[in-house]
């Protein structure tokens, strides 16, 4: 049966066009109930159970299916995902509305419908002859959809009666819309609100905790006192932004101070790029990463960023007076120059809430169901939730979602989603840091794995098309110990004409991952492999990452090769790119390669190749540094794990060898050569990487720190910075140069991917290169896969596809990659921090030498070279007399009583694990030397504490 809609549309040219939309109606669409004679085998995919007896509902004791409306799906997805909820009919009308309103919820509901154990059935009601409804005149689309859902629910109940004479099966309509529920009951459809139904499930009381509390009025605090001003409606906000009254930007809360945030204003305007928001009422219920509308305050109300550290630790839920007192602390007398544009949040344009990990702060009131949840991320406010499981959830890591934030509530309202496990447990904490940094880490789906090659795999004649056979070359790889995802390998050989040939061979991942398939989409979503201390979250499935793409020794592998002809002065005479087949002759670690180069007795082909490569690498590095490339430093640490418990038993900074530098030089050269080639061929849509020059203000801290040691650091160009860092040496203080380089690293901007057609500035500041990209690590970076595809098209080794030459699509890919790389970095740091805590937990209290990196108003930030560990020594502690502190911002220096601390001063600190706050266990540092009366820890206790771990250590060493 065919329905058609006809309407007229005016064209740009002023003509009239007739449009006919055809809509096919069928009578062979199955209801999803097994054994239904009327439908036969019309239904495909997951079906409902014939006798759903798993839910004991006091409202509806007989067997039943559920049919939720759109709002239930949108807001109560956490309930629907629970294993207790099964046999749900998802209508096409509902699915389409969800798709239009929330992509994340749509993805979650698709995942649930694909889970065979859940028995969710998608019913195509819009194409079923008996359930399709046409929009009536004067009826809006919302009302029409509500009617369509009721019609489908009624049809189901009548249809299921035909199953058998004694059949009691019912379809229960679940809606939170009061009018819709009333209409359904009038029409004879059994209907309940989500809350009514969930509360009737007496066998699953824990489900109540997962209900989202939606009626903000119903959840208002009894006091009813209005704390916040009303948010402006979206229409008013948009008008105000257009007229310039308001500004639109991303709200970034502060980790250090819960009463302060920054709004990064969207657009290209140079002024008011960054607006400070200070005080509870001005923050006006905005949450980190929300898109907000901001009103700029008059200049006489502008403030300076606060250097006070304030964490929300109060137990009293709504003590707003106390907050106002704390706000006054922020407004200390400041220099006129320090004042920044200041504003207040007037409305929310888009909420960017996500599920948050954290812990329950159980209420002091006995039998209370209302508790505060403290997120692990200090930028997120505490959330009020209702739960009956408070005693079992104490000391556990849990996930909570925000539902809303009423005007008269100090905190937002939310609901419990999931229990992750015991706090401090290694598996639980790893899960938390992956979730908190939005690292996709679920196992690869069957759809993704289906695109992997069949095993056993060998190189075929078809694979060798457009490919050179380089298996005869003496190729080898050099990597960190334990590396299984080997991306790159090198070769070196003398040519008959007296020159040398050097090749960089990179795993040909793009041969296995074809554009647009599920494997490609998943790799693009993940963006990068994430390396945690004892776990790797792969970007591509293990069959590729550790086997078929990994350039292991003595096996044939497909590669993409960049081959140069050079003279002995490392000048490039010719460059060529080719897809190839290689067979690596050795997989070495950096230490093994170094040992071969240094050995007087080894003279085999591999060793001679390494020596030739090392010699050229030194020349290349010298040339780069002369051009102004920076050699910066960051203290990287390596953990030695116990083979049985996998706990860290030793911690030391990573040692860098000449061979690290050798590999790096050729990787940089390959990346630069490829960048030039793809930009030559695709000037508008090459994927490149740039590193912007930092603004001069970024260097202030470095310049001041060097000046305090009578050294001059010039920062006008990268070259002058590199040269002045090379000159900044102190014979009496050899570690000073490393400290300056660590500080210089902190001044840098983030390097980013971009599309060449969307930007004019290609320069890479740190490498002093006019153009740069990433080509050498396609197993662990998606950017490199795109670059491989571009290069393959450029040399005629592969065909192009539409998205590859669409600069807007490429810019979107770059945006996701930049986000994923940043998050991966943060997750890696969090993993190091957690393992450092485990290390000091077993080690006890330790005293070590440290150097001051930064001076704050009430603290010093120190670096401990032995462990590559950074921490803060506070001079003001709760319940202790406050010492006399004088802070000098110009020097910078901090005078504590009669002792003055400058940047780079050497101190001795005591390190211990502070577990007083289970959620934020942290390494505490306190001063041992220099001695300050009333501040120092008595040395005898630190010695006592030190003796104990020493005995343990000796035991471990045996």
Question: What is the spatial distance between Cα 431 and Cα 13, in angstroms, rounded to a whole number?
Answer: 58
Q: How far is CA 837 from CA 203, 428, 834, 947, in A?
A: 41, 15, 5, 19
pTM for this entry: 0.77
Cβ proximity of 781 and 545 under 8 Å: no
pLDDT the model gives residue 177: 87
Strand duo 170-174 + 64-68: pairing? parallel
Helix axis angle, 605-627 to 590-598, nearest 10°: 100
pLDDT the model gives residue 292: 92
Structure tokens belonging to residue 526:
């993940």
Q: Which residues contact 281 (CB under 8 A, 6 or more apart)?
A: 227, 228, 229, 344
* Number of C-beta neighbours around residue 343 at 10 A: 24
Alpha helices in 244-349 (DSSP H): 280-283, 320-330
The CATH fold assigned to 234-350 is: OB fold (Dihydrolipoamide Acetyltransferase, E2P) (2.40.50)
* Number of C-beta neighbours around residue 138 at 10 A: 6
Spell out a b/e string for 2-11, using b for 16 or more CB atoms within 10 Å of the CB, else e: eeeeeeeeee
On the question of a common fold for 44-210 and 234-350, the answer reads no
Nearest residue to 617 via CA among 660, 559, 677 = 660
Return the domain boundaries, the chain: 44-210, 234-350, 355-423, 446-692+752-826, 696-747, 844-929
Nearest residue to 659 via CA among 570, 577, 599 = 599
Cβ proximity of 942 and 910 under 8 Å: yes
Cβ proximity of 822 and 928 under 8 Å: no
Question: What is the spatial distance between Cα 495 and Cα 564, in angstroms, rounded to a whole number?
Answer: 12
Question: What is the spatial distance between Cα 419 and Cα 441, in angstroms, rounded to a whole number?
Answer: 18
pLDDT in tens, 447-502: 889 899 988 889 888 888 888 999 999 999 998 888 888 999 999 999 999 899 99
Q: How far is CA 696 from CA 544, 764, 811, in A?
A: 45, 17, 28
Cβ proximity of 508 and 558 under 8 Å: yes
Q: Which residues pair with 559 in a beta bridge?
A: 507, 580
Residue 920, φ and ψ in degrees, nearest 5: -115, 65
DSSP 852-883: EEEE-SSEEEEEETTTTEEEEEES--TTSPPP
Q: Which long-range contacts (CB under 8 A, 24 or more apart) does 138-145 make?
A: 145/70, 145/93, 145/97
Q: How far is CA 361 from CA 187, 314, 394, 672, in A?
A: 46, 11, 8, 53
* Number of C-beta neighbours around residue 334 at 10 A: 14
User: Hunting for tokens 């009061």 — which residue is that?
Assistant: 178
Spell out a b/e string for 843-870, using b for 16 or more CB atoms within 10 Å of the CB, else e: bbbbbbebbbbbbbbbbbbbbbbebbbb
Cβ proximity of 606 and 475 under 8 Å: no
pLDDT in tens, 589-628: 888 999 998 888 888 889 999 999 999 999 999 888 888 7
Question: What is the spatial distance between Cα 267 and Cα 466, in angstroms, rounded to a whole number?
Answer: 46
Tell how far CA 24 is from the center of its chain: 44
Architecture label for domain 844-929: Beta Barrel (2.40)
Question: What is the spatial distance between Cα 81 and Cα 101, in angstroms, rounded to a whole number?
Answer: 19
User: Hunting for tokens 């061929």 — which residue is that?
Assistant: 681
* C-alpha torsion sign, points 784, 785, 790, 791: positive
Order of strands across the sheet that contains 885-888: 885-888, 893-896, 899-902
Q: Which residues contact 72 (CB under 8 A, 6 or more apart)?
A: 80, 174, 175, 176, 194
Q: Which residues contact 898 (CB under 8 A, 6 or more apart)?
A: 932
Length of the chain in terms of residues written: 958
Cβ proximity of 764 and 689 under 8 Å: yes
- Does domain 355-423 sit in CATH 2.40.50.700? yes
pLDDT the model gives residue 322: 57
Query: Which stretches of 27-166 are assigned E, i.e. beta strand?
Result: 64-68, 88-91, 120-123
Question: What is the spatial distance between Cα 903 and Cα 132, in angstroms, rounded to a whole number?
Answer: 74
pLDDT the model gives residue 491: 93
Q: How far is CA 470 from CA 143, 293, 409, 573, 578, in A?
A: 68, 60, 69, 21, 10
Cβ proximity of 261 and 283 under 8 Å: yes
Q: Which residues pair with 914 in a beta bridge?
A: 922
User: Hunting for tokens 């577990």 — which residue is that?
Assistant: 915
Question: What is the spatial distance between Cα 568 and Cα 25, in angstroms, rounded to a whole number?
Answer: 76
Cβ proximity of 861 and 872 under 8 Å: yes
Q: Can you state the percent helix, strand and coil of the chain, rounding each to 5?
A: 35, 25, 40
Question: What is the spatial distance between Cα 773 and Cα 754, in angstroms, rounded to a whole number?
Answer: 9
Q: What is the CA radius of gyration of the chain?
A: 32
* Number of C-beta neighbours around residue 726 at 10 A: 11
Cβ proximity of 670 and 559 under 8 Å: no
Structure tokens belonging to residue 534:
């004892």
Nearest residue to 739 via CA among 717, 711, 719 = 711
* Number of C-beta neighbours around residue 364 at 10 A: 8
Q: Which residues contact 117 (CB under 8 A, 6 or more apart)?
A: 83, 86
pLDDT the model gives residue 773: 93
Low-confidence ranges of the chain (pLDDT < 50): 216-223, 315-317, 333, 939-958
Structure tokens belonging to residue 595:
């040992």
Question: What is the spatial distance between Cα 649 and Cα 957, in angstroms, rounded to a whole number?
Answer: 10
pLDDT the model gives residue 306: 67
- Does domain 44-210 sit in CATH 3.40.640.10? no
User: Hunting for tokens 């740039």 — which residue is that?
Assistant: 690
928: enclosing H helix or E strand? strand 922-929
* C-alpha torsion sign, points 45, 48, 50, 54: positive
Q: Which residues contact 217 (CB under 8 A, 6 or more apart)?
A: 406
Structure tokens belonging to residue 725:
């860092």
């Amino acid at each position: 049966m065919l329905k058609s809609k006809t309407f007229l549309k005016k064209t740009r040219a002023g003509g009239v066009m007739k449009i006919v939309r055809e809509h096919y109606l069928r009578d062979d669409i199955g209801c999803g109930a097994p054994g239904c004679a009327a439908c036969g085998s019309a239904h495909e995919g997951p079906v409902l159970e014939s006798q759903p007896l798993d839910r004991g509902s006091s409202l509806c004791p007989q067997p039943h299916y559920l049919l939720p409306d759109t709002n239930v799906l949108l807001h109560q997805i956490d309930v629907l995902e629970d294993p207790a909820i099964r046999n749900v009919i998802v209508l096409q009308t509902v699915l389409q509305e969800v798709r239009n309103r929330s992509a994340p919820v749509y993805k979650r509901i698709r995942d649930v419908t694909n889970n065979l154990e859940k028995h969710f059935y998608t019913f195509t009601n819009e194409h079923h002859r008996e359930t399709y409804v046409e929009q009536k005149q004067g009826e809006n689309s919302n009302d029409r959809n509500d009617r369509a859902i009721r019609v489908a629910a009624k049809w189901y109940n009548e249809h299921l009666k035909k199953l058998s004479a004694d059949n009691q099966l019912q379809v229960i309509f679940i809606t939170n819309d009061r009018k819709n529920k009333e209409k359904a009951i009038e029409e004879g459809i059994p209907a309940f609100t989500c809350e009514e139904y969930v509360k009737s499930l007496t066998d699953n009381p824990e489900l109540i905790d997962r209900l989202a509390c939606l009626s903000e009025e119903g959840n208002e605090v009894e006091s009813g006192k209005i704390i916040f001003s009303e948010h402006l409606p979206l229409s008013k906000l948009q008008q105000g932004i257009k007229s310039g009254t308001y500004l639109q930007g991303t709200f970034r809360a502060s980790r250090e101070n819960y009463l302060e945030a920054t709004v990064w204003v969207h657009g290209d305007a140079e002024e008011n790029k960054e607006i400070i928001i200070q005080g509870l009422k001005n923050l006006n219920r905005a949450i980190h990463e929300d898109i907000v509308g901001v009103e700029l305050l008059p200049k006489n109300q502008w403030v300076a960023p606060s250097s006070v550290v304030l964490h929300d630790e109060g137990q009293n839920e709504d003590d707003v007076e106390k907050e106002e007192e704390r706000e006054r602390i922020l407004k200390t007398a400041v220099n006129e120059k320090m004042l920044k544009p200041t504003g207040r949040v007037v409305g929310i344009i888009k909420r960017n809430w996500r599920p948050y990990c954290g812990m329950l702060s159980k209420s002091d009131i006995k039998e209370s169901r209302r508790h505060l949840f403290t997120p692990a991320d200090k930028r997120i406010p505490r959330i009020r939730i209702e739960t009956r499981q408070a005693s079992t959830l104490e000391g556990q890591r849990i996930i909570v979602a925000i539902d809303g934030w009423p005007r008269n509530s100090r905190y937002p309202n939310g609901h419990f989603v999931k229990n992750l496990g015991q706090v401090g447990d290694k598996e639980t904490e790893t899960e938390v840091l992956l979730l908190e940094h939005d690292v996709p880490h679920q196992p690869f789906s069957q759809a993704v794995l289906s695109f992997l090659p069949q095993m056993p795999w060998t190189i075929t004649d078809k694979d060798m098309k457009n490919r050179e056979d380089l298996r005869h070359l003496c190729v080898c790889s050099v990597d960190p110990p334990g590396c299984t995802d080997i991306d790159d390998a090198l070769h070196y050989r003398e040519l008959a004409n007296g020159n040398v040939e050097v090749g960089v061979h990179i795993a040909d991942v793009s041969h296995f991952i074809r554009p647009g398939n599920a494997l490609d989409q998943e790799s693009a979503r993940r963006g990068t492999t994430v390396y945690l201390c004892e776990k790797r979250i792969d970007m591509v499935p293990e069959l590729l990452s550790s086997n078929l793409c990994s350039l292991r020794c003595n096996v044939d592998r497909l590669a993409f090769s960049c081959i140069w002809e050079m003279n002995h002065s490392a000048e490039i005479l010719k460059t060529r790119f080719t897809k190839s087949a290689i067979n690596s002759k050795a997989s070495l670690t950096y230490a093994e390669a170094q040992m071969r180069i240094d050995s007087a007795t080894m003279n085999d082909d591999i060793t001679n190749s390494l020596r030739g490569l090392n010699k050229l690498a030194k020349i290349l590095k010298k040339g780069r540094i002369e051009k102004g490339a920076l050699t910066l430093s960051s203290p990287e640490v390596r953990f030695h794990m116990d083979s049985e418990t996998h706990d860290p038993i030793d911690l030391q900074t990573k040692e860098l060898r000449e061979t690290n530098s050798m590999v790096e030089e050729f990787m940089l050269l390959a990346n630069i050569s490829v960048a030039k080639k793809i930009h030559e061929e695709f000037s508008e849509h090459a994927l490149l990487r740039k590193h912007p020059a930092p603004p001069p203000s970024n260097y202030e801290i470095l310049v001041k720190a060097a000046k305090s040691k009578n050294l001059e650091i010039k920062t006008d160009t990268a070259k002058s910075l590199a040269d002045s860092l090379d000159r900044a040496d102190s014979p009496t203080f050899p570690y000073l140069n490393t400290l300056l380089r660590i500080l210089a690293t902190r001044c840098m901007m983030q390097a980013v991917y971009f599309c060449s057609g969307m930007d004019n500035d290609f320069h890479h500041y740190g490498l002093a290169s006019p153009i740069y990209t990433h080509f050498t690590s396609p197993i662990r970076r998606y950017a490199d896969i795109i670059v491989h595809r571009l290069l393959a098209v450029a040399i005629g080794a592969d065909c192009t596809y539409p998205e590859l030459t669409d600069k807007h699509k490429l810019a979107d890919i770059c945006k996701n990659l930049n986000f994923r790389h940043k998050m991966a970095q943060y997750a890696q740091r969090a993993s190091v921090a957690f393992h450092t805590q485990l290390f000091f937990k077993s080690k006890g209290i330790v005293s070590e030498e440290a150097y001051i990196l930064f001076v704050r108003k009430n603290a010093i930030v120190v670096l401990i070279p032995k462990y590559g560990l950074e921490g803060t020594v506070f001079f003001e502690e709760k319940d202790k007399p406050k010492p006399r502190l004088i802070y000098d911002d110009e020097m910078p220096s901090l005078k504590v009583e009669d002792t003055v601390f400058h940047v780079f001063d050497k101190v001795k600190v005591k390190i211990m694990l502070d577990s007083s706050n289970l959620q934020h266990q942290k390494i505490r540092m306190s001063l041992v030397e220099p001695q300050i009366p009333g501040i120092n820890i008595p040395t005898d206790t630190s010695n006592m504490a030190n003796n104990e771990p020493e005995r343990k250590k000796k035991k471990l060493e045996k």
